Amino acid sequence: MGAQDDARVQTEGKLDGRLVTFTYKGADKPEERELSWSEADGTTIKLPGHDIIAILPTNAQEGNAHSLLHVIKSPEGEHDGVPFTFTAATAINLPLPVVADFGRPDGNYWQPRQGHGQDSRQTHVVVSIGSGTGQALAVCHYMLKPLLQSACSLTEGDYSLHVTTSEMTVTDLTRDVFLPQANKGVAQAIILLSGDGGMVDVINAILSAQRQTTFVKPCITLLPLGTGNALANSAGINSDNTAGLRTMLQGSPKGLPLFRARFSPGARLLVDHQREEQHLHQEDGVPIAYGAVVCSWGLHASLVADSDSAEYRKFGAERFQMAAKDLLYPPDGSTAHQYLGKLSVLCVSNDGQSEWRAIDRDTHGYVLATLVSQLEKGFTISPASKPLDGALRLIHFAPVGGEETMEIMTKAYQGGQHVSDDRVSYERVEGIRIDFAETETRWRKVCIDGKIICVEPGGWVEVRRHTEGVVDLVVLQ
């Protein structure tokens, strides 16, 4: 609907059999659209556009009938703290503009049983109970399950439900269930109630094993329930109040771009709130990790690592800012840490050749390479990045102290204005390499999509774009 149509359209109709008057206010931005209806007793109910999941044609006997799928705010203290719950209503004679805005004219809604040219596909629901503030199970119960039954005619017997029991559950599921089926050519729909970590677990488990010529990429719907949800925020999945359900129904699968990080031999993955170490997958004797969001060192990696505790996690996304404050203004009154090491950038020269270029400084404050635009909602770290464009971009700056760092980071919350700051370097790259000169373990931690990898003294990490995608992500086109 264009701006010229930004007017109220009114129709007489029915909602679940009741006579009502529908009013629809259109707008260019979905969050500014609003459907309302007046009941016979004069009561008016308003439904904001960002609460509407989809408007689907229905088989009701009366003409012009649709199923209106949306979320409603949960009563305070109910539904296990989930802020919204799913509901559906049968609407007769809705205003045509609202049907056009929240329906698909071709009727080609996403169905879990369809995909990759096959008649059916296996459907899996993966609930990561440790993600974010621990609401994934409640969202599955109060939002996803009723939606699957209402919109897709799927009961619990039509899909496999997997609830995580440890940090390794998604990795084990991928290795033991998803990958063997994909190698057999079986198309799979995976609905992942998780943060970015769940996605990186699936990717790494697939890429660390053998894939057959018959391999079929799983199609993943991400319901963002992590802390930062960088991938979902950057891909537009988290732009409404439906917890990704609108994207699930109205989106289409698109290849998920990846990067590949190679580490020096002593690098270890830290798990269980960094109390334990695990070996990384190796290729030709080199430790490897794959990501779809970010590889960082410096302030970002340290704040992710420091905030990875049960005490911090209960604060949700605020934990990052809390950890950042402690790093920039250490409680002992010292200055913010200056990270020691050599940063090199791989770029394409004018003659089309790739060449390494060393950054001319030995201390760093912030080093971050990313495939996405936002690290959390409203925090635009790479404004030039477009959803799933596959471009790797680097943001870095020298140690400038707590006050100046906060000033730069605040600009990232203002539409990514920090990249215009003279203190910040921002460019598209093919890869980066960091050679660490830190002696203390705390400052040799690298963040890959929320996972923390510790590099040994004198170690290194090298990151490059990875051309081979292994999963599709459902996004709004």
When mean pLDDT is compared over 62-66, 131-135, 241-245, the highest value belongs to: 241-245
- 31 confidence band (pLDDT: 50, 70, 90): confident
| pLDDT tens column, 308-359 | 876 776 777 677 778 888 899 998 889 999 999 999 999 987 787 889 999 9
Examine the pLDDT at 119 and tell me if it is beyond 50: no
Contacts of 362 by beta carbon, 8 Å cutoff, 6+ apart = 340, 341, 342, 437
Examine the pLDDT at 109 and tell me if it is beyond 70: no
Secondary-structure class of domain 122-250 per CATH: alpha beta
| pLDDT tens column, 142-180 | 999 999 998 888 888 999 999 999 989 999 999 999 999
Predicted local confidence at residue 246, as pLDDT: 94
* 8-102 topology per CATH: PH-domain like (2.30.29)
Q: Name the nearest CA neighbour of 384 among 436, 419, 409.
A: 419
Contacts of 460 by beta carbon, 8 Å cutoff, 6+ apart = 263, 264, 433, 434, 435, 436
Contacts of 274 by beta carbon, 8 Å cutoff, 6+ apart = 305, 308, 452
CB of 65 closer than 8 Å to CB of 95: no
| Global pTM value | 0.91
Reply yes or no on domain 259-466 having CATH 2.70.210.12: no
Burial zone of 100 (CB within 10 Å; 0-12 exposed, 13-18 middle, 19+ buried): middle
Q: What are the boundaries of each domain within the chain?
A: 8-102, 122-250, 259-466
